[in-house]
Amino acid sequence: MSKKYLVTGAAGFIASQVSKRLLDQGDRVVGVDNLNDYYDVRLKEWRLDQLKAYPNAENFLFAGLDIEDQTKLGDLFKAEGPFDAILNLAARAGVRYSMENPHVYLSTNSQGTLNLLECMRTKGCKKLVLASTSSLYAGQKMPFTEDLAVNEPLSPYAASKKAGELMSYSYHKLYQMDVSVVRYFTVFGPAGRPDMSPYRFIKWITEGETIQMYGDGSQSRDFTYVDDIAQGTIEAIQDVGYEIINLGNGRKPTSLNIIISKLEKLIGRKAKIDYKPFHVADLMETWADISKAKRLLDWEPQVSLDEGLEKSVQWYMDNRHWLKGVQV
């Protein structure tokens, strides 16, 4: 029997892929996005156009609204509910930009989550999947496990995501909501965010532009392909009580220098690099322990780094005619 889900941030990188997979299952999806201009809105519109033309697109309804607007969100719950689950993937992302504009991070990532929880409480929806971040693990011993204390966030972005986790825990305890918090680790893939290093590196190398490198390139990340992240997010819809679950590659992290080297071979061009001071709010390394995801969700990533980079480069080349104008 098909189910009905509310997916926030539906024009975003991860949520658009989650929505496609739910449609593949025969489920109905109400997608919400405010199409803000944090990065070039043409990318969001492209993803949304892909969704609207997707098989089973008759089961997809798009609502252009902001989860910060509690009144309009409540109207949507009333008009389109009940929902079997809410997948809150709407977020203001980006560590550095959160230092420039912290208020919008709090209003979206914290207040927006609270608005959803209140709508769930009043409309009787009991399942939330909440997207969170590996940025919370700053300064912790690797590989990162979910039971680590993450009480010293290095950026307003990380702090605002922690606030969303805590609020959802309160609603779990008070109102018996079932909550899966999924902490994402450096997601990459086709149609990715242009402020993330894989997208930036592909564009800069392809177009002969200089890579802006903060640090010496030795910083490492647990790069995880978007399709794997999307599947893990869907697996997290199951009943868990309240659980925080890492979704990452789980293998030894890869340095930015190695990513650049791999992309140089795929693209056939040598990178030009301008090294800048390491940013105070960045992490030197991230590495997920995904044993909990394996145990609870029967999930582990399927796409290798090399395969994911190859697909990402191919997507850029296929869409280069308009992507050249997208700011990174």
Q: Are 192 and 226 in contact (CB under 8 A)?
A: yes
In the prediction, which pLDDT does 44 show? 97
Q: How far apart are CA 106 and CA 126, in angstroms?
A: 24
What is the pLDDT at residue 19?
98
- pLDDT tens, position by position, for the chain (328 residues)? 899 999 999 999 999 999 999 999 999 999 999 999 889 999 999 999 999 999 999 999 999 999 999 999 999 999 999 999 999 999 888 777 778 888 888 888 899 999 999 999 999 999 999 999 999 998 899 999 999 999 888 888 889 999 999 999 999 999 999 999 999 999 999 999 999 999 999 999 999 999 999 999 999 999 999 999 999 999 999 999 999 999 999 999 999 999 999 999 999 999 999 999 998 777 889 999 999 999 999 999 999 999 999 999 999 999 999 999 998 8
For position 279, what pLDDT does the model report?
A: 81
Distance (Å, whole) CA 227 – CA 124: 30
Q: Where are the domains of the chain?
A: 4-185+224-250+285-302
A 10 A CB-CB count for 4 gives: 17
Any idea which residue has 């690797």 for tokens?
142
Q: How far apart are CA 33 and CA 192, in angstroms?
A: 16
For position 82, what pLDDT does the model report? 96
How many Å apart are CA 323 and CA 315, to the nearest integer? 10
The enclosing H or E element of 184 equals strand 178-184
Longest CA–CA span in the chain (Å) reads 57
Residue 280's pLDDT is 76
Whether the CB-CB separation of 85 and 125 falls below 8 Å is answered with: yes
The helix-helix angle for 70-80 and 112-123 (nearest 10°) equals 40
pTM score: 0.96
**The predicted structure's pLDDT at residue 248:** 98
Q: What is the CATH number of domain 4-185+224-250+285-302?
A: 3.40.50.720
The SS3 call for residue 312 is: helix
Q: Provide the pLDDT for residue 102.
A: 86
Question: Catalytic amino acids?
Answer: 157
